Structure 1
Amino acid sequence: MMVGAQSQWAYDAHATFYGDMSGGETMKGACGYGDLNQQGYGLKTAALSTALFSDGAACGACYEIECVDSPKWCAPGRRVSITATNFCPPNPALPNDNGGWCNPPRKHFDLSMPMFVEITKDYHAGIVPVRYRRVPCFKIGGIRFELGGNPNFLMVLVFNVGGAGDVSSLEVKGSRTGWMGMVRNWGQKWDLPGQPQLVGQALSFRVTLSDRRSVVSDDVAPAQWQFGQTVEGKQF
């Protein structure tokens, strides 16, 4: 999806909130992110329903959201921009009109409470209709790569991604190898099993987003990189 400029508004969604004004829950989970404050996302986040989450492909995408069609609860003219950082799971035991707001085929955003209050008159609204659209992500600093796994299994978490935000493919290259495609393990965690030869090599990464833009970060991890280390590359 091209998000160099704002995309068209879609109206068929609703929003709820989690936690309290201090953030409450961290909302870590289905995208693989860690501490959202340390990673630069803060409270400007949301969990997406099945219809929007797309099996984790939407992780990192940014949306602008506005409450609509509810004069009692909507704060006119107020919008928030959030990053998709988690999954709002469906509850098959509940019909859509009795609390199953994240059930397919509904499009739903579970916002942090501060984001929900920003677009409504009062958190007692509970759930409100919203319109939404994809917007570019603006992040401070470069893309971050958290290097996980073990000598026989490389897993990389990609975060703080600007531009379209949602990574569609990740490739890695050692200083003594060619480019190798990684596989989405879950959310924005990508793995490369059976590649122990990358230990002891400087690592480069090529990140491609859903809008097909790519950026290459050469030798961002030094040859002496360690599992658990986070390195920073170029940005969109």
Structure 2
Amino acid sequence: MATSHYLTALVLFMAFSVQAMAEVNGTWYNAHATFYGDMSGGATMQGACGYGDLFQQGYGLKTAALSMALFNNGLTCGACFEIMCVNDPQWCIPNAGTIKVTATNYCPPNYVDGSWCNPPQKHFDLSMSMFTKIAIYKAGIIPVRYRRIACVKSGGVKFQLAGNPYWLLVLVYNVGNAGDVYDVKIKGSKTGWLQMTRNWGMNWQTGANLVGQSLSFHVTTSDGRWIQFDDVVPWNWQFKQTYQGKYNL
């Protein structure tokens, strides 16, 4: 990243810090939680956010599928939550504290059987590994309290490329702080800035042919912070490859 661009992003990052942290560390809310799979993880591939292999991408088992009331049509993908088991002495583990998870999937409603993921209910479907840190697995479902927290990620924001020469799909992940990306712009070395549109989850698309050009990205998260990655992808990039920026939000 060019020094001037980095300093601009850093100043804006600092300007939003107080406001964003107040939003992220806000009120606790009531919800319920269940778990899926077994202790090894089970369904940790792909999902409604498009993250793919959660272990390879650094999310592991510290993840959750969100009900419709929380998922926000995929815009909440990448957000982080702190969760505790409450008001159930039979199943809550005493003094278990809290768990911290990243939203990586969707828990769809089932209007036939009154699923916990039906709107307007707020619900987290956790990995069994995370569920059993705060409750006994035989509980099946537990009352919880949750709040949004800042995401702590190792390394820079990552960009995974897919598609074809006439349609580029970019998965943006490993995003810190707010975690959920609300806007992405792309720039080839021979173009100006182009607005990308969200395809699904955290996959963003453009119809521009950018093969043979180095790529830059301008990423904005839900709290208004943004950061620019100049030439983060080299001119000889390949589809199905992942490129990592030097910085995070």
TM-score for the superposition, normalised by structure 2? 0.89
**Identity %, equivalent residues:** 61
Q: How does 1:171-182 map to 2 (within 5 A)?
A: 171-182=185-196
Q: How does 1:220-235 map to 2 (within 5 A)?
A: 220-233=232-245, 234-235=247-248
**Is the 2:28–2:145 contact (alpha carbons within 8 Å) kept by the matching residues of 1?**
yes
**Is the 1:27–1:85 contact (alpha carbons within 8 Å) kept by the matching residues of 2?**
no
Look up the match of 1:88.
107
Separation (CA, whole Å) in 1 of partners of 2:228 and 2:151: 18
**Is the 1:51–1:105 contact (alpha carbons within 8 Å) kept by the matching residues of 2?**
yes
Task: Give unpaired runs (5+ residues) of structure 1.
Answer: none
Q: Offset of 1:27 from its aligned partner?
A: 5.1
Q: Offset of 1:221 from its aligned partner?
A: 0.5
Tell me whether 1:109 sits opposite 2:124 in the alignment: yes
Tell me whether 1:165 sits opposite 2:179 in the alignment: yes
Q: Offset of 1:116 from its aligned partner?
A: 0.3
Where does structure 1 differ by over 2 angstroms across 4 or more consecutive aligned residues? 1-5
Q: How does 1:47-196 map to 2 (within 5 A)?
A: 47-77=65-95, 78-95=97-114, 100-120=115-135, 122-193=136-207, 195-196=208-209
Separation (CA, whole Å) in 2 of partners of 1:17 and 1:231: 32
Separation (CA, whole Å) in 2 of partners of 1:43 and 1:56: 19
Task: Give unpaired runs (5+ residues) of structure 2.
Answer: 1-18
Instruction: Render the CA deviation track for 1:134-184: whole Å, top value 9, x for unaligned.
Output: 000001111110011100001000111111000000110111111111101
Separation (CA, whole Å) in 1 of partners of 2:84 and 2:169: 36
Question: Which one-letter code corresponds to 1:235 in the other structure?
Answer: N
Aligned residues: 228
Instruction: Render the CA deviation track for 1:9-63: whole Å, top value 9, x for unaligned.
Output: 112x100000111112215310001110000000000000000000000000000
Q: Offset of 1:133 from its aligned partner?
A: 0.3
Instruction: Render the CA deviation track for 1:115-142: whole Å, top value 9, x for unaligned.
Output: 100011x100100010000000001111
Q: Which secondary structure does the structure 2 equivalent of 1:52 belong to?
A: helix
Tell me whether 1:20 sits opposite 2:38 in the alignment: yes
Separation (CA, whole Å) in 1 of partners of 2:34 and 2:223: 29
Q: Which secondary structure does the structure 2 equivalent of 1:2 belong to?
A: helix
**Is the 2:45–2:53 contact (alpha carbons within 8 Å) kept by the matching residues of 1?**
no
Separation (CA, whole Å) in 1 of partners of 2:91 and 2:98: 14
Q: Which secondary structure does the structure 1 equivalent of 2:20 belong to?
A: coil
TM-score for the superposition, normalised by structure 1? 0.94
Q: Offset of 1:3 from its aligned partner?
A: 3.8
| RMSD over aligned Cα atoms | 1.2
Separation (CA, whole Å) in 2 of partners of 1:3 and 1:211: 9
Question: Which one-letter code corresponds to 1:113 in the other structure?
Answer: M
Which one has a larger percent helix, Structure 1 or Structure 2?
Answer: 2
